[in-house]
Structure 1
Amino acid sequence: MTQKSILITGCSSGIGYDAAHTLANRGWRVFATCRKEEDCEQLRGEGLESLRLDHADEASMDAAVAEILSRTGGTLDALFNNGAYAIPGAVEDLPTDALRTIFETNFFGYHHLTRLLLPVMRKQGHGRVIHNSSVLGFAALPWRGAYVSTKFALEGLMDTLRLEMRGMPIDIILIEPGPVTTKIRENAQPHFERWIDWENSPRRNLYAKLRERLYDDSGDLDTFELPPSAVTKKLIHALEHPKPKPRYYVTTATYIAGVAKRILSTRVGDRLTPNG
């Protein structure tokens, strides 16, 4: 049987790192990409094929895809768009340029990479495009407006693409994790410092709790938090099952939010939503 191939973004740590190694161990040819070349070097040292790819840099995406296709003879079975980051802060404190910046990575980059690979999948007659969304792609939480808006946009775009691809042998799939052990808080710190002028915010006193969580290095887990392998388990089903689901929930928090969205009114849901 021909070895299947997949491009995964955001593989320097967390979900992407776990997925890349797990799928390689299952026999997939994995192209594990990272924003930084030093992270790619580490992955190559661990036996993976790794290339630099930055969702905010179209040239890097174009170059990575061209190199991958040159190695595979012009084919690729699957794409797992995973790389993303957060900018914690109240919506009224988010500069519009901050939103423009995060959308480049979390949304426009996903779209560009998808468009690069759809013609390849059309030509070969099959393919799976999987996006790592979030419970925050359908259920908002305070202080996460930048990240939430990118994930809501991603879900809307991919729901539309899924409908447009009906009748074609290309599956469009969303994975929606809740709390998973990753470096998202650590990676969010420089973005928070860059964009959020919290000391001059009318919510200055409320930022104490947010900053405490953001800079917490105790290692304590969030409620319902699972390891990255929980996402990889759903990814494997999405890749290898003959009839994959259009959506995969991960963690109890996502299932609870999904049920609440369907049965509760907006006002009741708002009252039950945590403040932080």
Structure 2
Amino acid sequence: MSKNTTRVALVTGASSGIGEATAERLAKVGYKVYGTSRRGGQPGQRSFEMLSLDVTSDESVEAAVREIIRREGRIDLLVNNAGFSVAPGGAEESSVEQAKAIFDTNFFGIVRMTRAVVPHMRKQGSGRIINMGSVLGILPMPYGALYSATKHALEGYSESLDHELRTRGIRVSIIEPAYTKTPFDSHFLEPDSKLDVYHAVRADVTKRIKEVMETADQPSIVADVVLKVALAEHPKPRYTAGKLAARLRLLRRFAPASLLDVGLRKDLRLEA
């Protein structure tokens, strides 16, 4: 790719939070950025264009990618950020339909985006895919089993994909933030099969998460890591974002399982 060629980036879930901060950061350093959300462009001043895209729809994904290729002729960077979670609750409090819904966005949405973009990256002989994971992709989250499961799945998918595509000039990385100040938690879906037996612990875990969010990282911290990965000559398969995420990654790697187990329950103020 010529140094004079404008790099084109596609960022999903860019209407707010990490996605918006990432799109702004990329635009600031010269990328031609297309952000997406299900609602498309909303009022407000942005340095990038918003397109309508629903990652749960094959037709919507293909149409948005086709439009960017029509305009720009290439896509150099795909940032898969769109996602949601179910509010804290027992795993059995979510129906199979709700489990399918969160996987359809958080995991299969990324599969759809990848399948739509990779052929164009292969043709141009270069490209980069950055998937927004979570420390919950390497750690369990009691009363957050479904969200954790989607992020665990994304870890395996991303690393396998990177092995497959690197010989074609395409690299894939996953970013693992911890708690981040975004509207994400205000958009939680409530478990759709609530049980009285979980009422108290559901309330306690929700309260604890709200406390932790008061001191959470700003989206810009994650956006800076995305930029670092996008520009890295030899990107790594995974990156943490923020000090807490880095500590948790080290604990997961080196701490005895029993110690990690105790620490996790203590932090969430769960009974031993």
TM-score, structure 1 length as denominator?
0.89
Aligned to 1:160: 160
C-alpha displacement of 1:166: 3.7
Rounded Cα–Cα distance in structure 2 between residues aligned with 1:82 and 1:245: 18
State whether structure 2 residue 10 is matched by structure 1 residue 13. Answer: no
Post-superposition Cα deviations, 1:118-154, rounded to whole Å, max 9, x if no partner, equal 1111110100011010111111121111110000001
Q: Secondary structure at the match of 1:2?
A: coil
| Cα distance, 1:222 vs structure 2 | 3.2
Query: Residue 234 of structure 1 aligns with which residue?
Result: 225
d(CA) in 1 for partners of 2:238, 2:62: 28
Matches within 5 A, 1:131-146: 131-146=131-146
Give unmatched runs, 5+ long, in structure 1. none
Q: How far 1:165 sits from its partner (Å)?
A: 2.2
Q: What is the aligned counterpart of 2:5 among 2, 5, 20?
A: 2
Residue in structure 1 matched with residue 192 of structure 2 by the alignment: 195
1:5, 1:29 within 8 Å by CA — same for their partners in 2? yes
User: What is the TM-score of this pair, normalised by structure 2?
Assistant: 0.90
Contact map agreement 2:16 2:182 (CA 8 A) in 1: yes
Q: Percent identity?
A: 32
Instruction: Give the ranges of 4+ consecutive aligned residues of structure 1 lying more than 3 Å apart after TM superposition.
Output: 210-214, 220-224
Structure-1 residue corresponding to 2:29: 26
Matches within 5 A, 1:155-234: 155-188=155-188, 191-192=189-190, 195-197=192-194, 200-212=195-207, 222=213, 225-234=216-225
Confirm or deny that 1:265 pairs with 2:256: yes
Residues 212 and 224 of structure 1: CA distance in aligned 2, closer, same or farther (over 3 Å): closer
2:12 maps to amino acid: T
Confirm or deny: 8 A CA contact 1:6 1:80 kept in the other structure: yes
Offset at 1:80?
0.1
242-251 vs 201-210, which moves further? 201-210
| Counterpart amino acid of residue 205 in structure 1 | A
The aligned counterpart of 1:77 is 76
Q: Is the 8 A contact 1:121 1:170 kept in 2?
A: yes
Whether 1:151 aligns to 2:151 is: yes
Question: 2:18 and 2:221 mapped to 1: Cα distance?
Answer: 9
Instruction: Show CA shifts across 1:230-257 (max 9, x none).
Output: 0111111111121222211112221122
CA deviations 1:102-128 (Å, max 9, x no partner) are: 000000010111011111111101000
Q: How does 1:90-129 map to 2 (within 5 A)?
A: 90-129=90-129
Paired residue total: 263
Is residue 90–residue 202 contact of structure 2 (8 Å, CA) maintained in 1?
Answer: no
Matching residue of 2:42: 41
Verify the 8 A CA contact 1:224 1:251 in the aligned structure 2. no
RMSD: 1.8
**Residues 24, 30 of structure 1: 8 Å contact kept:** yes
Which of the numbers 210, 229, 245 marks the counterpart of 1:254? 245
